[in-house]
Amino acid sequence: MTDKTDLESKAVEAPPPPPPPATTGANLFTVDVALRVLLFAAALVSVVVMSTAKQTELASVPGVPGVTVSLTAKFKHSPAFIYFVAALSVVGFYSIITSLASISVILKPNYQTLFSLLFVLGDVVALGLVASATGTAGGVAYIGLKGNSHVGWTKVCNVYDKFCRHIGSAVAVSLFGAVVLVALIFLSIFSIHRKIGK
């Protein structure tokens, strides 16, 4: 009789309550949104600073003593700087789209793994764009700063100092954007790893 009573008491017991939902995934995507907003800010500042790089100076005409002409340095005069502005504009637009997507994942966490995978792929492409644009613009800026005596390229930053400061600042901010993208890639990989490890 005691065995029957034990069985009945076990059958009457309610199942244990389900564990509370994990909020770590939502927390990771909150950090993701913050980093993507930071990426947008870096891309926007880089584009604005580069596209406003302009300086006009008087320069002497080689071979004609006493004659000076007004010359203007603009970012549009270099294909490397134009590519920089285009690439960082694309990355800025990408950061807006992925920020909205990340917010939607916080609201509906069912697709966290899928979006993490898509973010990794997109972020790697964006990092490639930022790295190539930064390297290209930085290479041209370095020649402007130091020149190249082997091929006879003279430095211009001693004349166009304000213009060169704009270029250097834009390149520095884009480097920061590249670091943010690396952090985003690691965050997405960590999110995928946590999901697969369960």
Q: Which residue has the higher pLDDT, 185 or 16?
A: 185
| Mean of all residue pLDDT scores within the chain | 84
Q: Is residue 113 part of a domain?
A: yes
- pTM of the full predicted structure? 0.79
- 9 assigned to some structural domain: no
- Within-domain flag for 164: yes
Residue pLDDT, tens place only, 24-78: 555 788 899 999 999 999 999 999 999 998 887 777 666 667 777 787 888 898 9
In a domain, 15, yes or no: no
The single-letter DSSP state of residue 69 is E
Q: Note whether 114 and 188 are within 8 A (CB).
A: no
| Helix 79-107 and helix 24-51, axial crossing angle in degrees, nearest 10 | 160
* 186 pLDDT tier (thresholds 50, 70, 90): very high
Q: In 13-72, which residue ranges form alpha helices assigned H by DSSP? A: 24-51
Range of the domain at 88: 28-197
Tokens of 75: 């970012």
Number of domains, the chain: 1
In a domain, residue 137? The reply is: yes
Establish if 5 belongs to a structural domain: no
Q: What is the pLDDT of residue 5?
A: 52
Average pLDDT rounded to a whole number, residues 176-186: 95
Q: Which two tokens stand for residue 5?
A: 């009573």
| Coil/strand/helix, residue 149 | coil
Mean pLDDT, rounded, for 116-141: 94
Q: How far apart are CA 113 and CA 105, in angstroms?
A: 10
